[in-house]
Amino acid sequence: MTKTLLFLLQPLFLTFVFQHSVLHAQHSETDLHSYIGKNVVIILEDDSRFAGEVLSVGNNELEIRTEAGRVFIDLDRIRSIREADLSRKDTLWFEDPNRSRLFFAPTAVPLEKGRGYYQNIYIFFNNAAYAVTDQVALTAGFSLFPFLSLNDQLFYFSGKYGREVSSNHYLAAGLGIGGADSFRSHLLTGYAIYTRTFSRAGLSGGGLLFRTHSGNVDFALNTGGHYRVRERISLVTENYFYTERHLGSTVVSSYGIRFMGQRISADLAFIRPLYEGGSDDLFDLSWGLGIPYIDFVFSF
C-alpha cells in the first residue's frame, strides 16, 4: 500500500505543475502598460519571438515596432515579455528558467509569484518549488525507493526569502528540515546567500548551518555559478567547504553541463571530493571525474 502511494505522488507533482503553467501564462492590459515606450522581447505560446519597442497596448492586442515594421499581437497569445537591450546578440534568447537554483542548492534570485519547478534527481528523488509571492518560495521533496516503506523514505521541506537589493544583486535566506522515520531522525538547516547576475552568467556564495536531531551543529560555505555558452547550453558548478568534528575540513565540488529549453532542462554533472579531512593530499585524485549526477527539471 505504501509503495503504491509513493508512486502515485510523483504524477501528482506533475499535475500541479501543468495546472499552474497554464494559469500564469496570461497577461492583462494593465500588466503590459508599463512596457510602453520600452524595448522588449515577446515570446508567444507557439514559441514565436518578437523584439522591438512597445508602441501601445489595447484591450485585446499590443502594438510593437520591429525591424520589419509594426506588428499587432493578441494579448492572449503572449507567454512572456521582458525588457531587453536590442543591441546585444543574445537579445532573442529565452530567459534562463533556472536562475533560482544551481544543481540542487538555491541561488539568491527569487522565483516570480506563481512560478516554480518540479525536479527529479536520479529517478528516486523528487522535489517541487513554488513561489507564493515575488520574494517567498516553498519547496517540498521526497525520495521514492520502491524497496523502502513510507516511513523509511526521505522527506524535506524548506522556505526561502529572497529579493533584488540593487540592480543584478540579490540576497536570500532560508530554513529547512529533512529526515526520515517520521522526522525522528532529522536535520535542520539555515542558510544565507548572495548572488550577482550578469547577462549570461551568475555567481553565488553563502553560508549554511546544520543541526542534527542529536544537537550537533556544523557550518559550511558554498559557492557556485553558471555561464550560458549557448541559448540552450549552460555550464554549472556548485561547491561546498565544510567541517566535521574529529574529521577536519572537507571540500566537495560539482561541475557539469545543463541542456535547457524554455520549460524543460536536464543536468549532466559530476560530484567529487577535492579534499577530505585527515588526508595528506591537497587534491584527492582517487575519485577520478567523480560520481555522476543526473536530473530533470520542468519549470512552470
Of 53-62, 130-139, 211-220, the poorest mean pLDDT is in: 211-220
Q: Are 256 and 226 in contact (CB under 8 A)?
A: no
Q: Are 162 and 172 in contact (CB under 8 A)?
A: yes
Q: Work out the number of other CB atoms within 10 angstroms of the CB of residue 95.
A: 12
How far is the CA of 73 from the CAs of 33, 35, 57, 84, 183, in angstroms?
Answer: 14, 14, 10, 18, 52
pLDDT in tens, 80-118: 898 888 888 788 888 899 999 999 899 999 999 999 999
| Confidence (pLDDT) at 21 | 42
CA distance 179 to 107: 23
CA distance 182 to 153: 9
Higher-pLDDT residue of 258 and 216 is: 258
| 50 φ, ψ (degrees, to nearest 5) | -130, 140
Of 19-23, 38-42, 95-99, 225-229, the poorest mean pLDDT is in: 19-23
pLDDT grade for 160, boundaries at 50, 70 and 90: very high
Rounded average pLDDT over 14-40:
63
pLDDT grade for 198, boundaries at 50, 70 and 90: very high
Rounded average pLDDT over 207-229:
89
pLDDT for residue 139 is more than 60 = yes
| Confidence (pLDDT) at 5 | 41
Q: Are 98 and 258 in contact (CB under 8 A)?
A: yes
Averaged confidence pLDDT in the chain: 85
Amino acid identity for residue 202 in this structure: G
Instruction: Please identify, among 73, 92, 111, the residue that sits at the C-terminal boundary of a domain.
Output: 92
Does residue 291 share a domain with residue 171? Answer: yes
Does residue 80 share a domain with residue 1? Answer: yes
pLDDT for residue 3 is more than 50 = no
- Nine-digit cell at 240? 561546498
Rounded average pLDDT over 139-149:
92
Does residue 153 share a domain with residue 280? Answer: yes
Does residue 190 share a domain with residue 130? Answer: yes
Domain count within the chain: 2
pLDDT grade for 11, boundaries at 50, 70 and 90: very low
Does residue 62 share a domain with residue 211? Answer: no
| 29 φ, ψ (degrees, to nearest 5) | -60, -40
CA distance 294 to 296: 7
- Nine-digit cell at 191? 542558510
CA distance 288 to 282: 15
Does residue 76 share a domain with residue 29? Answer: yes
Task: Determine the structural domain holding residue 221 and report its residue range.
Answer: 97-299
Q: Are 153 and 141 in contact (CB under 8 A)?
A: no
Does residue 54 share a domain with residue 141? Answer: no
Q: At a CB cut-off of 8 Å and minimum separation 6, what does 107 contact?
A: 99, 100, 101, 170, 172, 193, 195, 202, 204, 224
Q: Considering only CA atoms, which of 86, 52, 87 is closest in space to residue 69?
A: 52
Instruction: Please identify, among 92, 116, 149, the residue that sits at the C-terminal boundary of a domain.
Output: 92
Is residue 296 within a helix (H) or strand (E), and if so which, with residue range?
strand 291-299
Rounded average pLDDT over 275-293:
67
